[in-house]
Structure 1
């Protein structure tokens, strides 16, 4: 061979060598009955426990002693479940135009708050809202854009329930009023704010595709429930949500554009009856005096968080994961116990590649089994939940696919981590216990109300259990009051970030396993 001539056959030989290792490991796995049974059992556990859990969950609504089917939940423009309840003083606007108003007051009441629970107190919850809104119609869930003052988050521009943009902080009072303006140009809505009605600052812009030529525009007020969380004596927490009401005072109302029809309409959008307090004290509505409008409302315009998320059907994943860990660990420790590892390393003397082949096989077969189990469980489990009267929070096809495939990936990566720990310890009991301690136990501690909420969140940030975040389907919304803790199914890391943490630990364990294989004899 002359100088500079390449050697064309070596890469092919190396590829064929690794392919041979893969075939050998796959043959070894499928011919060991215990490993196959164990993996099938793990998949069945995920399905059976999930469907049993779904079958045991029932929900209904009642009118007095009579149980009835719960009313349909509004769905927003992007398919999410929403709460769309507020008082609306509105008129039609045909084509382009704008509406301007000055807000001089935002007050409210909170019913029966702690510690005494025996009186009404004045107060405005942080996400009480009052301002201007352009809405496709008065149907709940229809597209909208709004600019508003809030009880504790300054001026905001929000649209289509999930989108929120911050304006200037601060409250509103007679001495420090807030001017608001909302302008429509085609499908584009732009919100502005001003301290004096002369110098205006843009808050945000919303693009509402398919907005009809004629929309409803006007003033609105709403106030979500007051949430308090109390730590229980035996661990966990007790949540209480109380009725609230907000009242805003508007003046200098200026509607520009083609506004057909008569005067202002008054409507409680999404009203579902009234509370005893409203019937005997202050009902929602509008009072007008000399161009000043006092509007009172309750409810919220935001994503709905009450319901069953799709991952609620996957309660068997934790138990199935334990079986996966046992299979993954024994798939390598059994070779040490029986002396077969010498034959394996003789066939593949490059020990790193041999371990990679083992990892690829156990990861692939676990992913396939997990994907089948999660698909069946979520599909059938959702049907069972709905047939039992439960409301399953809708998600996009992409999100549901991510949950199903993500759970399969969680099981697969955890299996590889367990395999690597089996190579490090070379003893089944030590490797299985360690795997359970670093993956399963942190998740259990964080989600069963044993630890303080802050500790639980840090545990799911820093341990391999962070990977469970991949199954969360409903995100945390900064503009929706909620108890976003692991016990309620909310993880501190984003889904793919949490899975990446688990992958990082797995990569580290594989490196340690390779070093161990190279330093120690079989």
Structure 2
């Protein structure tokens, strides 16, 4: 009597319900990428140093004015220092595509899109530290001028707390704005030029392209409401509003006078739209 032989069956493996690593691991990897490079630390150091120096120089120059108010120069250091977070964001957003690291990233994260939110959160955390340090240094830059005039530096009254918060949010927002453009365009130089144009030059370019108010009596005034609307809703104008209690009407009648909160919302809208476009490109097009 012979026993029937049957081929051993391989154990059934439950299908995997997870594609790629967890979001927490992706976030940790993106944070490691940022802090392991030298360029973010150099940009952070230059940003803090330039902000403190410009604030000190501006306050010293303003202290000869009889109506000198130290807090009036609080955000003056951001005139050039704001370029640091913008450049940092572009380098983070476009850096992987420039160096070719994106091939490894999207092999490990096959769904692609989680890598961009993780990069955004990691950059926001790094930029937040830089922004807080920059704001503290700006405050310290006011102390010599205020002390020389015997004026107490009151940071808790009036619009000052809002300005301090706006400075921090502005620097973080500019980093994310640059990152969104870098991730969308994937080329460092075009992304840098685009970011600088939108954040610095667009409001002035729009207004200079439209005719000025007439100087001849009786001549009709040109309609600048469209130009003013574009200028006010640009990232460059939004970043100015974030650190100011109120921004005057930029182009006359027909243009809304936006508040500090409105400026923050405009800048946030730009960031979200650009990030959404970058995610859509990741999902629908080949990575190159």
TM range (shorter): 0.7 to 0.9
TM-score by length of 1: 0.43
Q: CA deviation at 1:335?
A: 1.4
2: CA distance, partners of 1:404 / 1:417: 20
Cα separation, partners in 2 of 1:60 and 1:399, compared to 1, 3 Å: closer
* Partner in structure 2 of residue 277 of structure 1: none
* Partner in structure 2 of residue 161 of structure 1: none
Pick the aligned partner of 1:439 from 199, 202, 220: 199
2:199 counterpart of 1:427: no
Q: CA deviation at 1:60?
A: 5.4
2: CA distance, partners of 1:350 / 1:318: 40
Deviation by residue 1:67-114 (Cα, 9 ceiling, x = unmatched): xxxxxxxxxxxxxxxxxxxxxxxxxxxxxxxxxxxxxxxxxxxxxxxx
Contact 1:59 1:388 in 2 (8 A): no
Cα separation, partners in 2 of 1:28 and 1:355, compared to 1, 3 Å: same
Deviation by residue 1:427-472 (Cα, 9 ceiling, x = unmatched): 111001101111122466799xxx9697786455210121321211
* Partner in structure 2 of residue 18 of structure 1: 23
* Structure 2 unaligned regions, length at least 5: 1-15, 214-223, 251-255
Deviation by residue 1:279-320 (Cα, 9 ceiling, x = unmatched): xxxxxxxxxxxxxxxxxxxxxxxxxxx654725232221312
* Partner in structure 2 of residue 471 of structure 1: 243
Q: CA deviation at 1:24?
A: 0.4
* Structure 1 unaligned regions, length at least 5: 1-8, 62-305, 477-483
Q: CA deviation at 1:52?
A: 1.7
Contact 1:324 1:366 in 2 (8 A): yes
1:200-219 to structure 2, matched below 5 A, reads none
* Partner in structure 1 of residue 280 of structure 2: 515
* Partner in structure 2 of residue 406 of structure 1: 166
2:145 counterpart of 1:374: no
| 3-state SS of paired residue (1:492) | coil
| 3-state SS of paired residue (1:56) | helix
Cα separation, partners in 2 of 1:18 and 1:38, compared to 1, 3 Å: same
Contact 2:203 2:232 in 1 (8 A): no
Higher strand content, 1 or 2:
1
Matched residues, number: 255
Higher helix content, 1 or 2:
2
Q: CA deviation at 1:396?
A: 4.1
2: CA distance, partners of 1:495 / 1:60: 27
Cα separation, partners in 2 of 1:58 and 1:22, compared to 1, 3 Å: same
Contact 1:330 1:422 in 2 (8 A): yes
How well do the aligned residues superpose, as a CA RMSD in angstroms? 3.6
